[in-house]
Amino acid sequence: MSDLELTQIGVIYTPFKERKGTPIQPKMGKGIEGRIEVFDKYVPGLKDLDGFSHIILLYYFHLSEGYSLEVIPYLDDKHRGLFSTRAPKRPSQIGLSVVRLKEINGDTLTIENVDMLDQTPLLDIKPYVPNFDEPQDIRIGWLKERLKGMHHKKADDRF
């Protein structure tokens, strides 16, 4: 399809200038603060968002190019199917992170638990709602044995 369009609504600023050393998930970026600047024309859409403690950010992996359908993820040493991983190099380079929303001030959101690179293009903000987003009776496949020690894990330059 040629008519799929993306619209950037703002920019995410974080302390991370390169993939290497960046937290691989928001939990590993716990307490690390970032900032979102929403473009002026979209600011009215932020109304009521301050009631939510957590937001889902959809963003564009702007520094990732190309992808492989099998990758060795940060948390494993085996090749895994790309869609069973959260690796940033994907056919549609869309990242998803649930972050804590600390404050909204005009066009600027202060957020916490960031795991994306500085100057990441923001595509969408959705409120995080456990009742919508948290299923029950979950199995997590290859990751089950790999989550131990993940809190010390940082990205390297593989992606």
Q: Is 113 within 8 Å of 24 (Cβ atoms)?
A: no
Contact between 130 and a second copy per CB under 8 A: yes
Closest to a second copy by CB, 26 or 34: 26
Contact between 48 and a second copy per CB under 8 A: yes
Select the residue interacting with a second copy from 64, 107, 108, 143 (CB under 8 A). Answer: 143
Rounded to 5°, the CA angle 81-16-154 comes to: 45
Contact between 63 and a second copy per CB under 8 A: no
- Least gap, CB of 157 to a second copy (angstroms): 21
Please report where in the chains the tokens 């024309």 appear, as a residue.
41
Contact between 54 and a second copy per CB under 8 A: yes
Closest to a second copy by CB, 47 or 152: 47
Distance of alpha carbon 154 from alpha carbon 156, whole angstroms: 7
Per DSSP, the three-state class of 35 is strand
- Least gap, CB of 105 to a second copy (angstroms): 15
Select the residue interacting with a second copy from 15, 21, 81, 106 (CB under 8 A). Answer: 81
Phi/psi of residue 109, nearest 5 degrees:
-110, 130
Distance of alpha carbon 9 from alpha carbon 6, whole angstroms: 10
Element of type H or E holding 138: none
Q: Is 126 within 8 Å of 94 (Cβ atoms)?
A: no
Where on the chain is the footprint of a second copy (CB under 8 A)? 1, 4-9, 25-27, 42, 44-56, 58, 60, 69-70, 80-86, 90-94, 96, 98, 100, 113, 121, 123-135, 137-144, 147, 150
